Amino acid sequence: MADNDFDNLFDDNDAGSQKNNDDLFAFDDNENLFKKEELSNSKVIEEEIVELESNVIEKEPEIAETIKPQKKRSSQDFICDMDALLLTAQSPMIIEGMKYLTMKKFSADKKSTFAEAVKGIELFITILKRNPNNYYKLSELISEDIDCREVERSAMSLYFSKFSTSPETDIQKLNAFELFRDRLRNGYYKCLINDSRKRIKIYFLYSGGLNKEKIIALINENNSQFHNEIGHLVTIADIAFKLTKTGNSELTQGMKGRDMNSYIVRSCELLSFYHFQTGHKKNENYYKRLHENYSRYFVIRE
């Protein structure tokens, strides 16, 4: 019975079943055809990809030849035209600083002028250090530009005054500009000191004594501006000490260092009291000793 039942499923005498089976197998033929077309198309696509890849591989060397690795810019890449532009721009500021230096004008409002003058001289020094040949290529510009010529002449004159000979070698010319820079830098430092003299006045009474109550109040409230002021004062006071040892400590014309001595006395008094209140015994003793020395004696090297 079971065999007959299975035989009925595939009975060839049934016309409808034959038709349906023909349609089913016809669908399978179409599917096989589609698969053949897909395989054919994929084969064509693969051949095209291989051809494209071969073209790319063949052309890669040409591309590699045209693209060159980029090199980082160095100091050697700067051209003389840029140096000339910078020198002509900064030279007037150097001349301005030199004028105030000669007139001994070191007021706080001259601070920016001296700062720019120092930057200008640093530019001459940098060019000469970096490549002396570039500096000599600029000799025509320097000789034609009034300010540049005056800057160079002043530097060479300073060297002659110190060594009684004109600078000839690259090192000697470099030293000449460094001497000029140091003079201008001292002018800048004196402007900083005069500026600091004005700023610390608010911590003193009209009678000249230290306003201790105000300082104690600022310390107790942990006033950040006051603490920053003290840090700034430490730096400027140290500059003042060094200037007194050079014999070139005149802050205003005709005073011959008296203003500098007065500034050191007042700044050390303030710093000593500040460190006493904040518990820094070592710093307190250091500034207290300086205050006493500069108060009793006129400690200026003329």
pLDDT tens digits, one per residue of 241-297? 888 888 777 787 656 678 888 899 999 999 999 999 999 999 999 999 999 988 886
pLDDT(2) > 90: no
Domain boundaries, the chain: 77-191, 204-296
Residue 179, pLDDT score: 95
Give percent above pLDDT 70 in the chain. 70
Residue 42, pLDDT score: 54
Q: How confident is the model at residue 180 (pLDDT cuts 50, 70, 90)?
A: very high
Residue type, 213: E
pLDDT tens digits, one per residue of 198-236? 999 999 998 889 999 999 999 999 999 999 999 999 999
Residue 37, pLDDT score: 52
> Are 65 and 155 contacting, i.e. CB atoms less than 8 angstroms apart?
no
